[in-house]
Amino acid sequence: MVNSTQVSYFTLAAYIDTGLFKYLFFMIIMSLYILIICTNVLLIVIICMNRSLHEPMYLFLCSLFVNELYGSTGLFPFLLLQILSDIHTVSTSFCFLQIYCVHSYGHIEFVTLAIMSYDRYLAICYPLQYNRLMTASKVAVLTALIWFYSFFVIIVTVALTLCGNIINKVYCDNYYIVKLACSDTRVNNIFGLVHMFTVIFGLVLVILYTYMRILKVCFSGSKQTRQKAVSTCTPHLVSLLNFTLGAFFEIVQSRFNLNNLPNTLRIVLSIYWLMCQPLINPLLYGLKMSKIRTVFKSLLTGRKM
């Protein structure tokens, strides 16, 4: 994250004049935001109010859904305001706040998915020892670490002298602000590389290791074990691949010159990881996980579990 006293506002140059279509885009984005809020809040309430779902996997899911609401709020209200606005400027302080929200959301999402991989690994590879290995206190500690570490690791403020204030994007992005710097950015670059190789690479290794072990158990285990692994791991794998794909789109379009692509496509690629993950996860876990479906049906019909 960067800080500068030389610039009082930034101009978001990726917005294009859509005329009256901006009201259509506003309604579409607003509908998606309402859907995200309703589905995520619904699943949070279902998990919190039903004791049968107070298990490690569902508690981590609850943390994931809270993060979806947090990340969406960091993007959608501002995006809706900018769609209707004719002047796409944002104050420096708000721009840095959005950068913080977006980056901490991404970090929490990835760390949570890695912890969920570890949880599935214990449940499938060590089913008899699972309750001893993944206790309620351990879940609480891991969840607290996910949030506190992700919030504090982003707080790295380096004073930069900026030689411009035009960001070719629809929301504020740390990498684009660093590119505007005409002062030394080595500290930012070093921190980014160290963070990538120590944290992100480490989490990728955890995810790969856990799923290699899960696959080994699946191939050598019984049909029931394979069915359990598929039913519990499929939603998580789809969510993980979707987030990774979205993050890859974001990195590619930020780091490389993609001016030959249509502006609309560049915008979609830049917000895919912030928009599709909060949309897909509640629907994915709500539809694929039978226990959540059963609890939801019981709440609708008024039957007791």
Count of other CB atoms within 10 angstroms of residue 270? 22
Q: How far is CA 114 from CA 1, 2, 35, 98, 251, in A?
A: 24, 27, 26, 24, 20
Give the per-residue pLDDT at 303.
Answer: 63
Q: pLDDT band at residue 304, thresholds of 50, 70 and 90? A: low
Helices (H), 5-135: 21-49, 56-84, 92-125, 130-133
- Both tokens assigned to 60: 């981590």
Where does residue 93 rank: exposed (0-12), middle (13-18), buried (19+ CB within 10 A)?
exposed
The pLDDT value recorded for residue 18 is 75
> Which pLDDT value is given to residue 160?
61
Average pLDDT over residues 198-214: 85
pTM listed for this prediction: 0.87
pLDDT interval class at 213 (50, 70, 90): confident
Q: Interior CA angle at 193 toward 188 and 197, to 5°?
A: 150
- Given a contact cutoff of 8 angstroms between Cβ atoms, the answer to whether 106 and 244 are in contact is no
Q: Within 10 Å of residue 3's Cβ, how many Cβ atoms? A: 13
Which are the contacts of 19, defined by CB distance < 8 A and separation ≥ 6?
none
The confidence band for 302, taking pLDDT boundaries of 50, 70 and 90, is: low
pLDDT at residue 113, as a whole number = 92
Q: What is the pLDDT of residue 177?
A: 82
| pLDDT at residue 28 greater than cutoff 70 | yes
Per-domain boundaries in the chain: 2-301
Using 50, 70 and 90 to split pLDDT, how confident is the model at 157? very low
Q: Cβ distance 41 to 103 under 8 Å? A: no
Q: How far apart are CA 33 and CA 30, in angstroms?
A: 5
Q: What's the mean pLDDT when you consider all of the chain?
A: 83
Dist CA 243 CA 96 (whole Å): 23
| Residue 77 binned pLDDT confidence (cut-offs 50, 70, 90) | very high
Residue 2 has pLDDT above 50, yes or no: no
Q: What's the pLDDT band for 111 if we cut at 50, 70, 90?
A: very high
* CA–CA gap between residue 172 and residue 74 (Å, rounded): 10
More confident residue, 226 or 72: 72
Domain 2-301 has CATH 1.20.1070.10: yes
More confident residue, 182 or 35: 35
User: DSSP string of 108-141?
Assistant: HHHHHHHHHHHHHHHHHHSTTTHHHHS-HHHHHH
Mean local confidence (pLDDT), 224-242:
80
pLDDT of residue 112: 93
Q: What contacts 138, CB < 8 A, 6 or more positions away?
A: 56
Q: What is the mean pLDDT of residues 189-217?
A: 81
pLDDT at position 38 is 93
- Position 224 scores a pLDDT of 73
How many helices (H) does the chain have, and how many strands (E)? Answer: 11, 5
Res 305 pLDDT > 60: no
User: For residues 199 and 97, which has the higher predicted lDDT (pLDDT)?
Assistant: 97
* Cα distances (Å, whole numbers) of residue 86 to 77, 151, 170, 174: 16, 33, 13, 24
Higher pLDDT, 175 or 103: 103
Question: What is the total residue count of the chain?
Answer: 305
SS3 89: strand
Assign 6 a pLDDT band (cuts: 50, 70, 90): low
**Per-residue model confidence (pLDDT) at position 198:** 77
Both tokens assigned to 216: 């080994």
